[in-house]
Structure 1
Amino acid sequence: MTMMPYRMDYPRPQFERAEWLNLNGEWEFEFDDEQAGTRGKWFAAHDFSKRIQVPFCFQSSLSGIEDTGFHDVVWYRKKFAIPESYKGQRLILHFGAVDYLSWVWINGQLVKFHEGGHTPFSVDITEQCADGENTIVVKAQDFSQDHTLPKGKQYYAEKSAGIFYTRTTGIWQTVWLEPLSGTCLEKVKLTPYIDSNEIKLRAFMGGSLKQQLLLKTVVSFQGSVVAEDTCKVNEAEMVRRIGLHDFNDHGQGRWWSPEKPNLYDVEFTLYEGESVIDQVKSYFGMRKISVEDGKVCLNNRFYYMKLVLDQGYFPDGIMTPPSDEAIKQDVELTKAMGFNGARKHQKVEDPRYLYWCDRLGLLVWGEMANAAAYSENYVRRMTLEWQEVIERDYNHPCIVAWVPLNESWGVPNIVVDKLQQQHALAMYHLTRSLDDTRLVISNDGWEHIKTDVCTIHDYESKRAVLEDRYSSVEKAVHAKPANRTIHVPGFPYEGTPIMVSEYGGISFKKSDWEGWGYSAAVSDEDYMERYKAVTQPLLQSPVVQGFCYTQLTDVEQEINGLLTYDRKPKVPLAMIKQINDGK
């Protein structure tokens, strides 16, 4: 019996069309440990012996397979029918993410190759589809033990250990089909300017440009129209600035923040003459993140960031959340503890997570999944995929910082290797060249080359040590909490804001999970005293402008979460919030 598809939520909430076909659910599946599938033309015909629930990786229990062994080449197959209402339109097949290489065949014809384990890709399959039944075949290849592969917390050994977790191979985000007209709105980039109360729109057209094309943009707030703009489409890319002649920062202002996550809705309608040929819904937040006089500011005012480190792993889905409700719950729990943001750690998160952060109000530091070792091939892989990450998530108001590198992962010899130094510098400037509206931390934690924020990872558990260490800028930037210099020699501190972007990590066993942390509590009272001892010195420091506590949940062998792995609070949420609020 065919099961109903998992993850029925709309996969691209920042660019939504009414018509789409979810292809999640049961697919045929096969391991290809001998790498015989391509030679044997499995894309044309093969007796697949297994079934898998997409979009869950075969290592997870929700996939129905739950095999954590090494199977670096896997195959998928699914049959589908084109809905009658899609006939006469272009058919676009979308993949949210496939780790790491992927090949896609439609009815035996190769239509797409993609490299990168965390970013989406699409392909026009109109010419390959037929009336009646059609077949998708996907081959995915991972490189589990390649240390130059950007894979984040996925471990190279069969069993997870230390700070590394179970691997993800193959499809792990939604697969879906979308019908489009011959000319359509391909994408938009929305950039808010609160100082002039304008939204900058860059609209990109797909397909063939035709005569008499008009793009109508309607901006509304809580159902009331605040701006309209209609213009002729003469080029494949258009730029418009739309003034928002409504409230901004006074009283009932409409700027976006974690405290007031105000969002404007946008509807784009593309006309050919009098006929509507495309319609897309989106949204944006009017917010600004900047550094002014050495202070991090949100909407032109100093803002103390209280972040939590969030790995984004789940017991049953690994890197794939089991449901949209589970994603929303993580955001709600984070806010309930008095945090105003999250640092998504070593993972490019599901767009639905960013959607809920936009809606509910949570700052996000967007981070790339890093490699462990440096090579020319690593640089190629890293830079290509990172550009796709920024492209995918540019419009989300919740994202206020980009973190391409963490703790010198991928650049382990950055202190002495000039190539690795130039790579970190290049990642900073590459990110800035694609997005000049957000903060960039090119190597979070230590050994900075160039950064907009001086971030420090410090797992010291003694209150007195933390109080002294963060009593002055001089002491903070010359400390070596992990026996690592905060800045690479020759790249001195330049007066940037200081944040402790990892600290705490207090282990506390409150479930059946066994594991470790950076320090250990033995009771609820002991846990709260330890949390106070590491948090209060940062809140009271005259130089620290924000922190990121490790971490939101227990994960596999780590039990240093504020919540258990199944999202149960270890102590009442209000107790954590009271300390975070400085009370």
Structure 2
Amino acid sequence: MGLLTRSAYESPIPRPEYPRPDLVRKDWLNLNGEWEFAFDDKSRGVRERWCEPERGDFPLRIQVPFAYQAPASGIGDPSFHDIVWYRRLVRLPASWRGQRILLHFGAVNYAARVWLNGRLAAEHIGGYTPFYVDVTDTLGSNVEWVTIVVQAVFPSRAQDFPRGKQRWTLRPKAGFHTPTTGIWQTVWMEPVPPMAHVHRVRLRTEPGGQRLHVRIMVGGSSGTDEARVTGEVEVRYEGRVVGVASGTVGITEMQTEIRFQPEDVHLWSPEEPHLYQLTYRLFCNGEQVDVAEGYTGLRWVSVEKGRICLNGKPYYMKLVLDQGYWSEGLLTAPSDEALKADIEWAKRFGFNGCIKYQKAEDPRFFYWADRLGYLVWSGMANAHRFSRSAIDLLLKEWQEIVLFRDTNHPCIVAWVPISESFGFDKLTSDSKQVDRQIALTDLLRVFDPTRLVVSNDGWDHSRSDVLSIHDYDDAATLARRYQTLEGILAHKPEGHDLFVLRGRYMGQPVVVSRYGGICAEGEELARQYRALTEALFSSPVVQGICYAQLTDVEDETTGLLTYDRRPKVDSEQIKVVNDAKPSRS
């Protein structure tokens, strides 16, 4: 079967919005939409050279970025296929000649190989992190047509790699969901200058908000004897320039600092999500060679005297669990508007943030959380079995997420490396598992000392900044248990200890990070929600809560919204409860 035609290349595409909101260039090409597709259940593709143009049979068509299991993909097949292949013919714009061309993949679950015109260009392991291919390095600078072939491998039944809530059985399994195989975030291209381009940016706000640290990582051949590369950062608030800084690029990066006048400091919070616009410019021997746009919010999160603080003031977190699944797209939101709408629904219910559970979410979600004012405890998919390789894979993805992809989003106030001991089934008896959990927590804190780290959300904590507890008991029990710290520390959530071997309580703030789980609708849902939430609000100890959950997901029917986002209760009935002032606020 032949390659996709030019008309398919020009057809309307899903998820057309720019996929990397904190580093934006004007010139780019979205490759979502129809691709040729094939299952490879007998693992014939590599042997038969499906990677070469016109080789192999690609009998199906799939709508990228949706996985084949998702109805929005146009296939909607829930059965297991561990190896899948994609093919797409792309014509590069003539205006891109002479520039370096980068091919980006937002996420491919779980292992990917990419060929360009039959040449192997990249291999990547990790189902939740982005990667890119330098097309120019592979094919040269004068290529016009590129055949992109992608092989994706997702071991459907394996449990020793990060897969989160994706089930490993063909039959439905309570509490686990349909897997997402292969490409599930946007595929796109961009041209960048050959000499120097802004590759990555890391931003950090100092407490007080008057200083913004900027680290620009530069790609290309900058820093050579023939070229002096400098950089500039311009910061604007509501269109007015409030800060400019510049510096010289070394071999790979430039670091600088913006100092704001007190009157130009507008702190970010859920109540007032002030954002600043940033422009990054690079110059080669004085001539501008690259420009990119970004944004930031000035805020800092801390624990002071046992209290969770936002911008130096105690802040009560009223969160909701959000698994990030959609009936049409599974892990992939059907539209950018759908990501925004979930946050708007949560705020309509009176929540000021969410916990993202067993998933590293699409960066566009964090963009809308930044814009709308919405706190996020950001998680990652865990393995289901403990092994050294599973920990190595988890750490690899966390390093990319924390150091680079998501670090610039002010909405993210906490990292959650493990939830409910997923993949760590013997934390109370196996010192090796405890050591790995402690090492992972400590490494995240080294990667990012500006955010909280919740070592194991729910129970079995080690060196956690927060004592987070999952507790689905009734309202009377919750009211009694959380009246005293002694009662809390005596609790064993679902039979688990609050701390692992060698762990102990050291004054951390207490957050009931999971409660509820109500299977009801209408007045009954509102009544139970009020009783449970008021019981926790009455605690003089608890400093935050997280209700489970925002939406139904497949067989889980405990959402405030159905799986297709219809409300099961009047939002005002929930909001009036959430708007009340907790005892510990």
Pairwise TM-score range, normalised by the shorter structure? over 0.9
Q: Which amino acid aligns with 1:69?
A: S
SS for the counterpart of 1:507 is coil
Range with bigger deviation, 114-123 or 2-11: 2-11
Q: Does 1:226 align with 2:242?
A: yes
Match of 1:104 in 2: 114
- 2:387, 2:345 → 1: CA distance? 40
Match of 2:72 in 1: 62
Deviation, structure 1 residue 131: 3.3
Deviation, structure 1 residue 204: 1.1
Match of 1:17 in 2: 25
Q: 2:408 aligns with which of 395, 414, 428?
A: 395
- 1:234, 1:63 → 2: CA distance? 45
Q: Which amino acid aligns with 1:463?
A: A
Match of 2:486 in 1: 474
Query: Do the aligned residues in 2 keep the contact of 1:498 with 1:545 (CA within 8 Å)?
Result: yes
Once the two structures are superposed, residues 63-94 of structure 1 have per-residue CA deviations (whole angstroms, 9 ceiling, x without a partner) of 00011111000000000001011110001010
Match of 1:543 in 2: 541
Query: Do the aligned residues in 1 keep the contact of 2:320 with 2:547 (CA within 8 Å)?
Result: yes
SS for the counterpart of 1:577 is helix
Deviation, structure 1 residue 157: 1.1
Match of 1:74 in 2: 84
TM (norm. structure 1) is: 0.95
Deviation, structure 1 residue 337: 0.8
Q: Which amino acid aligns with 1:72?
A: D
Q: 2:455 aligns with which of 436, 442, 454?
A: 442
Query: Do the aligned residues in 1 keep the contact of 2:321 with 2:548 (CA within 8 Å)?
Result: yes
Q: Which runs of 5+ in 2 are unaligned?
A: 1-6
Q: Does 1:574 align with 2:572?
A: yes
- 2:172, 2:394 → 1: CA distance? 24
Range with bigger deviation, 334-343 or 157-166: 157-166
Match of 1:8 in 2: 16
Once the two structures are superposed, residues 106-145 of structure 1 have per-residue CA deviations (whole angstroms, 9 ceiling, x without a partner) of 0000000000000000110114345332100000000111
Match of 1:491 in 2: 503
Deviation, structure 1 residue 450: 1.4
Query: Do the aligned residues in 1 keep the contact of 2:32 with 2:186 (CA within 8 Å)?
Result: yes
Query: Do the aligned residues in 2 keep the contact of 1:54 with 1:171 (CA within 8 Å)?
Result: yes
Deviation, structure 1 residue 208: 0.7
Match of 2:4 in 1: none
Q: Which amino acid aligns with 1:247?
A: E
Query: Do the aligned residues in 1 keep the contact of 2:522 with 2:570 (CA within 8 Å)?
Result: no
SS for the counterpart of 1:153 is coil
Q: Which amino acid aligns with 2:219?
A: G
- 1:273, 1:300 → 2: CA distance? 43
Q: Which amino acid aligns with 1:394?
A: T
- 1:370, 1:475 → 2: CA distance? 30
Q: 1:136 aligns with which of 145, 148, 152?
A: 148
Q: 1:314 aligns with which of 297, 310, 326?
A: 326
Instruction: Indicate how the Cα distance of structure 1 residues 33 and 371 shifts in structure 2: closer, same or farther if over 3 A, else same.
Output: same
- 1:491, 1:371 → 2: CA distance? 23
Once the two structures are superposed, residues 441-467 of structure 1 have per-residue CA deviations (whole angstroms, 9 ceiling, x without a partner) of 11110011110000000011x221111
Q: Does 1:302 align with 2:308?
A: no
Match of 1:201 in 2: 214
- 2:502, 2:228 → 1: CA distance? 58
Range with bigger deviation, 482-491 or 360-369: 482-491
Deviation, structure 1 residue 344: 0.7
Match of 2:338 in 1: 326
- 2:209, 2:576 → 1: CA distance? 37
The count of corresponding residues between Structure 1 and Structure 2 is 564
Instruction: Indicate how the Cα distance of structure 1 residues 156 and 196 shifts in structure 2: closer, same or farther if over 3 A, else same.
Output: closer
Indicate the RMSD between aligned Cα atoms, in angstroms: 1.3
Match of 2:233 in 1: 217
Deviation, structure 1 residue 489: 4.2
- 1:229, 1:289 → 2: CA distance? 25
Match of 1:518 in 2: none
Q: 1:242 aligns with which of 252, 258, 278?
A: 258
Range with bigger deviation, 169-178 or 472-481: 472-481
Aligned identity (percent) is: 47
Query: Do the aligned residues in 2 keep the contact of 1:226 with 1:246 (CA within 8 Å)?
Result: no
Instruction: Indicate how the Cα distance of structure 1 residues 234 and 447 shifts in structure 2: closer, same or farther if over 3 A, else same.
Output: closer
- 1:476, 1:134 → 2: CA distance? 61
Deviation, structure 1 residue 493: 0.9
Deviation, structure 1 residue 386: 1.3
Instruction: Indicate how the Cα distance of structure 1 residues 127 and 495 shifts in structure 2: closer, same or farther if over 3 A, else same.
Output: closer
Range with bigger deviation, 3-12 or 238-247: 238-247
Q: Does 1:49 align with 2:59?
A: yes
- 1:291, 1:218 → 2: CA distance? 32
Query: Do the aligned residues in 1 keep the contact of 2:511 with 2:543 (CA within 8 Å)?
Result: yes
- 2:523, 2:126 → 1: CA distance? 45
- 1:571, 1:140 → 2: CA distance? 41
Once the two structures are superposed, residues 225-247 of structure 1 have per-residue CA deviations (whole angstroms, 9 ceiling, x without a partner) of 10112223234222211101143
Q: 2:170 aligns with which of 152, 158, 163?
A: 158
- 2:167, 2:501 → 1: CA distance? 31
Q: Which amino acid aligns with 1:36?
A: R
Query: Do the aligned residues in 2 keep the contact of 1:91 with 1:178 (CA within 8 Å)?
Result: yes
Q: 2:390 aligns with which of 365, 378, 381?
A: 378
- 1:194, 1:235 → 2: CA distance? 30
Query: Do the aligned residues in 2 keep the contact of 1:56 with 1:62 (CA within 8 Å)?
Result: yes
Match of 2:3 in 1: none
Once the two structures are superposed, residues 142-189 of structure 1 have per-residue CA deviations (whole angstroms, 9 ceiling, x without a partner) of 011111110111000124331110000000000000101111111110
Query: Do the aligned residues in 2 keep the contact of 1:159 with 1:166 (CA within 8 Å)?
Result: no
Q: 1:528 aligns with which of 522, 526, 533?
A: 526
